[in-house]
Chains A and B, each alone.
Chain A
Amino acid sequence: AQTVTQSQPEMSVQEAETVTLSCTYDTSESDYYLFWYKQPPSRQMILVIRQEAYKQQNATENRFSVNFQKAAKSFSLKISDSQLGDAAMYFCAYRRADDMRFGAGTRLTVKP
């Protein structure tokens, strides 16, 4: 079974600084998708960024970027210039066809 592991239950960052959230996954497949979702206190799940496994280039969305290491099965999220609104739970997710797995989440605190 595919598993997704987020080894950091909690992380903290100073406003305007950079933070990296870790994610590793287990799969025997070569073609799949990886995602980072954000869940603020409103509990709405919001897609932050996605990465296709067949693409070597790391995805970037404004202040959010990933470091995708396919051989190491690692998919970390970097948040640059952290803002107070970035405070939330962040979930790493894997999907291939009808197999969708989420990590346990990392709670990010942003200090003013």
Chain B
Amino acid sequence: DAGVIQSPRHEVTEMGQEVTLRCKPISGHNSLFWYRQTMMRGLELLIYFNNNVPIDDSGMPEDRFSAKMPNASFSTLKIQPSEPRDSAVYFCASSFIGRGDEQYFGPGTRLTVT
């Protein structure tokens, strides 16, 4: 298996622009997580899906952030409009609940908003 795939790996955009981050989880996994990592706040869970259904989005910072999982093999995290304080590394992770529960992380997307 190729592991969790994220794209793009790097994104530089201007304040006010829309940003879409993409994730392909490991085939067969039934849960997917989006995290944000910054020096100041560490690793924060933004939203969690189970069987493509959002279960907990309490970590989503504000309405500018939205996430979707239209099918078991694809998820997006969208920021609209983006702000400089959104600059961070965004990770996607997937796991299979009931089988070890460990999460497998993608390589992350480094987002810079100028």
Stretch of B17-25, B63-71, B72-80, B100-108 lying at the A interface:
B100-108
The reply to whether the CB of B50 lies closer than 8 angstroms to some CB of chain A is yes
Shortest distance from the beta carbon of A47 to any chain B beta carbon, whole Å: 5
In contact, B102 and A43 (Cβ under 8 angstroms): no
A104 within 8 A of B: yes
Q: Which residue of B lies closest to A100 (CB)?
A: B45
- With A44-B107, A45-B91, A45-B93 as known contacts, state yes or no: A102 contacts B102, CB within 8 Å: no
Number of A-B residue pairs with CB-CB distance less than 8 Å in the complex they form: 46
> Is the beta-carbon distance between A98 and B48 smaller than 8 angstroms?
yes
Interface secondary structure of A, over-half rule: strand
Residues of chain A from 39 to 55 with CB closer than 8 A to chain B in the complex: 42-47, 50
User: B14 on the interface (CB 8 Å rule)?
Assistant: no
Residue pair A47, B33 in contact (C-beta under 8 Å): no
Q: Please, what's the 1-or-0 string for A84-103, where 1 marks a CB less than 8 Å from any CB in chain B?
A: 00000001000101101110
Residues on the B chain within 8 Å of A105, using CB? 42-43
Whether A43 and B48, one on each chain, are in contact in the complex, defined by CB atoms closer than 8 angstroms, is no
Report A's interface with B, CB cutoff 8 A.
Answer: 33, 35, 37, 42-47, 50, 91, 95, 97-98, 100-102, 104-105
